[in-house]
Every structure is written in C-alpha cells, then in structure tokens.
C-alpha cells in the first residue's frame, strides 16, 4: 500500500472513532506529536490518547488536501465546526512511525465546550 492509502484508512477509522483500527496502523515504537500537547511514544500510549480524546468529543476529519512525498503524507483538514489543521505522517512498511499535527487547541476546547486547561 502507498502511504496515501494508509492515511485514507486512518481518516476512515478516525471518523468512526474506531481506536482498534486506528492503532493497528501504528508501529510499536511510533511517536505522535500533536503540537498543542507533549509528544507521546509507543502504540499503547497513542491508543490511550485516542481513547481519551474520543471520549471527550465527537471529532470528524474532512480532508481538503492530501499530498505524498516518498514516505511522508501531508493532510490538510477541516471539521464541521470550522476548525482547521494539518498533519504530517511518516509511514514505513505500511505503518505510521511518526505523526505531527497542527491545530488550535483553544478553538477545539471552545467548540466542544470543554474546560480550558
């Protein structure tokens, strides 16, 4: 599979809040760094992060642009509430080994009526 195809699987699983399917797309030693938060490493920690986030809010990823360059895939996205962001995914051997996401955490918290940390 191409990195772009892996990303499309990730988007589909994300939009279903299907943590089991999402986590199968990550390497055991993957790192996920959402720049609004501290980076986390390891499949177990990433799984806990997604479980926590999906328990707080209904999230939807609407892809606007997807670009692939070698092992890297770049996702520009929006959600139904107007939040926008982008993600960078490094994929090796059909698994996500690194992910970095850029989005406005304050806007996310306000849109979902979550407490501001």
Question: What CATH number does residue 58 fall under?
Answer: 3.10.450.50
Residue 117 counted as domain residue? no
Residue 95 counted as domain residue? yes
pLDDT bin (cut points 50, 70, 90) of residue 106 is: low
Residue 63 counted as domain residue? yes
> What's the number of domains the chain is made of?
1
- In this model, does residue 84 exceed pLDDT 80? yes
Q: Which long-range contacts (CB under 8 A, 24 or more apart) does 12-21 make?
A: 14/59, 14/61, 15/60, 15/61, 17/54, 17/58, 17/59, 19/47, 19/50, 19/51, 19/54
Share of the chain above pLDDT 90, in %: 79
The residue range of the domain holding 40 is 3-110
pLDDT bin (cut points 50, 70, 90) of residue 105 is: confident
């Amino acid at each position: 599979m191409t990195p772009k195809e892996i990303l499309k699987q990730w988007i589909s699983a994300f939009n279903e809040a299907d943590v089991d399917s999402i986590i199968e797309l990550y390497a055991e030693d993957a790192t996920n760094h959402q720049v609004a938060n501290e980076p986390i490493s390891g499949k177990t920690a990433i799984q806990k992060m997604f479980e926590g986030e999906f328990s707080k809010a209904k999230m939807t990823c609407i892809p606007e642009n997807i670009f692939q360059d070698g092992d890297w895939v770049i996702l520009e996205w929006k959600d139904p509430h107007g939040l926008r962001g982008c993600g960078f995914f490094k994929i090796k051997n059909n698994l996500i080994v690194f992910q970095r996401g850029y989005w406005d955490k304050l806007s996310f918290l306000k849109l979902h009526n979550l407490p501001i940390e």
